[in-house]
Amino acid sequence: MSSLVSIIVPCYKQAHFLKDSLQSVLDQNYSAWECLIVNDGSPDNVSEIAQQWINKDSRFKYLEKQNGGLSSARNFGIKNSKGSYILPLDADDILHQDYLKKTVFEIEQNESIAIVSSYSRFFIKEKQNIVYELKPKGNSCVDLLYVNQLVATSLYRKEYWEEVGGYDESMKKGFEDWEFWIAITKKGLKYKIIEEFLFYYRKSKKSMLVDTISNHAIKVKEYIFKKHQECYIADFENCMTVLFYEQDAIRKNQKRIKNSLEYKIAKIICKPYRIVQKLWGKK
């Protein structure tokens, strides 16, 4: 008998994308799954869309909760799940039809493998409109310390979600999946990358990931570094190399901006306004 996979689909203001995401679940060439659609206090018609899919297949289930963020929604779904394996799936992303078949096969080959992921294709609007391909590397915690090699939609053993206490619900600004992978693998467990494109990530101008990278990356990284400081201390020399490299990159970028023609023109244009401000300040 095939192992049951619980697919957790949190949804907040993304009901209009659910059709493509849930269809990719229904199209799987692996039948032992349940799909829990978690309405995270969304103001749109998530419940109506979810009911349409429940009517199509009883393996779809619907849950509601007050809005608490992505980590909270995932944890809520997993608490109500029955599978021995968990697959988070954002409401706007799409699975290849062989995703479950191939990831379950890999995770069942080796007990030391806690997580299985794959290559990913990033698309805009239509799945065929590929704008980027992600080919993650590595297999252990040290490979995850400075760059998150694993997309959130990666298959893992439910027992390790229980061991680490689930997703960190205080992380409302993103990178919660990155922290979660570190929490699991720092115990010496491994992850496996299937070198095939089995996952499609919808890239949009406005998303939680874009907001995190643009506005919160430094603070969130600091939180991760401090929470798992024993990992970074053990990798101290490499940690310092990475941090100083990033500082140098920031300095060079700032210098490049100041030396750019656009910056110099803007400085000239703004000069009269600065003079006026100084004059007003003396009055």
CATH number at residue 175: 3.90.550.10
What is the number of domains present in the chain?
Answer: 2
Give φ, ψ of 63 to 5 degrees.
-130, 150
- Domain co-membership, 195 together with 265: no
Give me the pLDDT at residue 218, please.
87
Give me the pLDDT at residue 251, please.
73
Domain boundary among 205, 229, 246: 205
- Domain co-membership, 198 together with 243: no
In which element (H, E) is residue 70 found? Answer: helix 70-79
Report yes or no on 242 lying in a domain.
yes
Quick check: 86 and 177 in contact, CB under 8 A?
no
- Domain co-membership, 151 together with 272: no
Give me the pLDDT at residue 83, please.
98
Amino acid identity, position 131: V
Report yes or no on 216 lying in a domain.
no
Give me the pLDDT at residue 249, please.
73
Copy the structure tokens of residue 203. 């890239």
- Domain co-membership, 154 together with 275: no
- Domain co-membership, 274 together with 153: no
Task: Indicate the DSSP class of residue 142.
Answer: G
Positions of the chain with pLDDT lower than 70, given as ranges: 1, 205-214, 248, 255, 257-258, 260-283
Report yes or no on 227 lying in a domain.
no
Report yes or no on 218 lying in a domain.
no
Report yes or no on 214 lying in a domain.
no
- Domain co-membership, 40 together with 172: yes
Tell me the whole-structure pTM to 2 decimals: 0.85
Amino acid identity, position 189: L
Give me the pLDDT at residue 177, please.
97
- Domain co-membership, 201 together with 241: no
Give me the pLDDT at residue 151, please.
96
Domain boundary among 183, 205, 227: 205
- Domain co-membership, 198 together with 257: no
Domain boundary among 189, 205, 221: 205
Report yes or no on 225 lying in a domain.
no
Mean pLDDT of the chain: 90
Report yes or no on 232 lying in a domain.
no
- Domain co-membership, 174 together with 86: yes
Look at the chain and count its residues. Answer: 283
- Domain co-membership, 246 together with 201: no
Give me the pLDDT at residue 234, please.
95
Residue 38 is part of which domain span?
A: 5-205
152 CB-contact burial (10 Å; exposed 0-12 / middle 13-18 / buried 19+): buried
- Domain co-membership, 152 together with 276: no
Exposure string (b/e) for 179-213, b if CB count within 10 Å is 16 or more? Answer: bbbbbbbbeebbbbbbeeebbbbbbeeeebeeebe
Which residues is 115 bridged to in the sheet?
A: 156, 191
- Domain co-membership, 166 together with 40: yes
Report yes or no on 228 lying in a domain.
no
